[in-house]
Amino acid sequence: MRKVFDFHGGIHPAENKHQSLRTPIASAGVPAELILPLSQHIGAPAEPIVEVGQRVLKGQVVAAASGFVSVPVHAPTSGQVTAIEDRLIAHPSGLSAPCIVITSDGLDQWQECQPVADYHSVDKADLLARIRDAGIAGMGGAGFPTAVKLTVKPQAPIATLILNGTECEPYITADDILMRERAQHIIEGAQILSHLIEPSEVLIGIEDNKPESIAAMQVAAQGTGIEIVVFPTKYPSGGEKQLIEILTGKQVPSGGLPADIGVICQNVGSAVAVRDAILEGKPLISRVVTVTGEAVEEPQNLEALIGTPMSYLLQTAGYQAAKNQRLIMGGPMMGFTVPDADVPIVKTTNCILAPSAAELPAPPPAQPCIRCGMCAEACPASLLPQQLFWFAQGKEFEKAEQHNLFDCIECGACSYVCPSTIPLVQYYRAAKAEVIQIRQDAEKSEHSRLRFEARQARKEREEAEKEAKRAARKKAAEEKARLAAEQGDAQEDPIQAAIERAKAKKAAQASGGDAESELEKLEKLVITTRKRLETASTKLEAAKAEGSEHVDALQLGVDKTSAKLAAAEQALHAYQQANPSPDIPAPAAPDDAAQAAIERAMAARQADAAKSPEEKARESLQKLEARLAKSEARLQEGRAAGEEEKIIIALESTVERLREKVAAGKAQLKQAETC
């Protein structure tokens, strides 16, 4: 006898399994309409490859797998595709999802099946492809694509293949009856799986509350080397992690997969589906479903086509809608309620439970947690559910994670034993969802932080490039000035000058500066400043006339503006000097003062261009001297009139600046004269 291990916690809820075991598996027949959700498995939804109106045969692919972790969907009977649209599906959310709707033609006509006579002679990759193409996804509940699970990495060999015939959830007998009636098929499936992954042992785990199944499986397994392991009944021993611990004594690492410890676990139903796919060439289009609960007259197991509406199966079993208040897909511990009886069954549907109100009464209002610890005793994951509840309630998600919230398998054992009837599992689900949301938000904000930093870096880089271009332009201008100076007052060689100009222009263009727009900008500045000066002067005059107390302030404004104007004019002048452009458009008829000013400035520039550097220097010096004299006079005036201090200071600084400029101009002139 093989040693079996125990796992922590667990509960013994009323089994209620005998009700649906009184009759053998019956065929449910073909409903008028079949609804095939595109996502019946974990992974990417399948993609429809049929069109509305198209006739399909039984077993024909109607939606293809999209990606590695995905499986196709097949037509469960022959008929016509009547819609590809969103339908209400069996999902805890109660939402709609894309479905292919097939209206049966009543012929139930198969497409040609291609069985494999001897799978030993077929390449393993080909066998895996067949399993995948048959649309097989874990039939125990999660619906993980079987072929993906069977893809063994060579560096991580599998020691133990476990077939899960535990079926620990109350009410459900689909696997039980499958083991009783199709033990041979299960063993054949197990042999195929074993051939694929080459484990050192194959175990089939069954709880001791299924003696008929155990006997049937033992008979079928004789001489195959497959071992039937029986262990005490306890919920949730059928959970993958728990079953692995029972049979091997090992625990799947948190966040890891069974394959990490050399174990692969498959449901017995999946084994039969694999066997049918290989030996008969039939895709997964039907499964055994337990229809039970006090609201059906004849609880039983039905072999139903995938996509059959629940209502159709319920009618077959004698549904009494008046007695039923909630309809559960799955069992009483982990099943979920459906919003409507017309939702279709899918590949993972093992049970339809229609309990009466007395059978599964509505939960009473929750009382305060008294930390009795019964939940911790029941928890198969050795968590502290009462602490998790405390943290979930207080939204202390970090602490909840520290207490291993994500190792909760949502088996419901804690809620089952809670004397205060607190819906603990719901708290954990909500907390997990919130934690995931927080993680996603954190990821998002991290992403935007990176983007922001990248943007900052880009801006800095651009700024640096601009600076470099500016420096290049400046250098080019200086070079030009130097060349001009070298050539002295000698008549410029017109050809050489043209070349220089072209070069300078090219350099300016190469460095990205738009010569024309730069010029325009400066001109605009001159014009606006002049306009402002005019308005300010008008205002000043008016104020003087009125004897207003704002005269001083206005005077200051006028002074400042005129200084700015001078600076702008100078800048424009300098620019034009640096970038002489021979093809300045002919001056248009001046129609306003600003235009006239531009004309003047341009005329002056053109006149300048003809002058020697010495002359230019002398002229600008004269201008500066004139301005200095004017400013000095203004300062004297101001001092005499006893004007405000700040005005005096402003005037003084103007005089100072002009003096410096005059000195610089004198130096320049001297230099020009000596050349």
**Binding site per annotation, positions for [4Fe-4S] cluster:** 369, 372, 375, 379, 408, 411, 414, 418
CA distance 122 to 53: 37
Nearest-approach distance from CB 321 to other proteins, in angstroms: 6
Q: Residue 500: count other Cβ atoms within 10 Å of its Cβ.
A: 18
Query: Which residue from 292, 357, 238 is spatially nearest to 18, judged by alpha carbons?
Result: 292
Secondary structure of 298-330 in HEC code, one letter for each residue: CCEEEEEECCCEHHHHHHHCCECHHHECCCEEC
Pick between residue 68 and residue 406 the one whose CB is nearest to other proteins. 406
Q: Is 206 helix (H, G, I), strand (E, B) or coil?
A: strand
DSSP characters over 500-563: HHHHHHHHHHHTT--HHHHHHHHHHHHHHHHHHHHHHHHHHHHHHHHT-TTHHHHHHHHHHHHH
**Can you give the length of the chain in residues?**
675
- With beta carbons less than 8 A apart as the criterion, state whether 141 and 351 touch: no
Q: How far is the CB of 186 from other proteins (least distance, A)?
A: 28
Q: Which is nearer to other proteins, 200 or 382 (CB)?
A: 382
Ramachandran sector of residue 195 (left: φ over 0; alpha: ψ -120 to 50; beta: rest): alpha
Nearer to other proteins (CB atom), residue 378 or residue 563: 378
String of b and e for 622-659 (b: at least 16 CB within 10 Å)?
eebbebbeebeebbeebeeeebeeebeebbeebbeebe
DSSP-assigned beta bridge partners for residue 301? 290
Q: Which residues lie below 8 Å from residue 395, measured CB to CB, with a gap of 6+?
A: 434
Residue nearer to other proteins on the CB measure, 27 or 402: 402
Matching residue, tokens 């065929």:
27
Query: How near is the Cβ of 346 to other proteins at its closest, in Å?
Result: 17
The closest alpha carbon to 73, from 43, 53, 96, belongs to 43
Q: How far is the CB of 243 from other proteins (least distance, A)?
A: 12
Q: Which residues pair with 547 in a beta bridge?
A: none
Q: Which CB atom, from 90 or from 147, has the smaller least distance to other proteins?
A: 90
Task: Give whichever of 7 and 119 is closer to other proteins, judged by the CB atom.
Answer: 7
**Residues 84, 536: Cα–Cα separation, whole Å:** 76
Question: Distance between CA 170 and CA 411 in Å, rounded?
Answer: 12
Please, which residue, 188 or 245, has the CB nearer to other proteins?
245
Least CB distance to other proteins at residue 375 (A): 10
In whole angstroms, the minimum distance from the beta carbon of 19 to other proteins comes to 15
Tell me the C-alpha distance between 196 and 125, whole Å: 9
* DSSP 3-state percent helix, strand, coil across the chain (nearest 5): 50, 15, 35
Least spacing, CB of residue 66 vs other proteins, in Å: 30
Q: Which residue number, 418 or 672, has a Cβ lying nearer to other proteins?
A: 418
| Phi, psi dihedrals of residue 8, rounded to the nearest 5° | -65, 145
Indicate the residue among 367 and 448 with the shorter CB distance to other proteins.
367
Which structure tokens are listed for 433?
């969802």
Is the CB of 232 or the CB of 253 nearer to other proteins? 253
One-letter identity of residue 121: S
Give the pairing type, strands 55-56 and 79-88: antiparallel
Chain mean position to CA 565: 56
Q: What are phi and psi of 504, to 5 degrees?
A: -60, -45
Of the two residues 402 and 636, which places its CB atom closer to other proteins in the complex?
402
* CA angle in degrees (0–180, nearest 5) for 549-553-559: 140
Minimum CB distance to other proteins smaller for 67 or for 373: 373
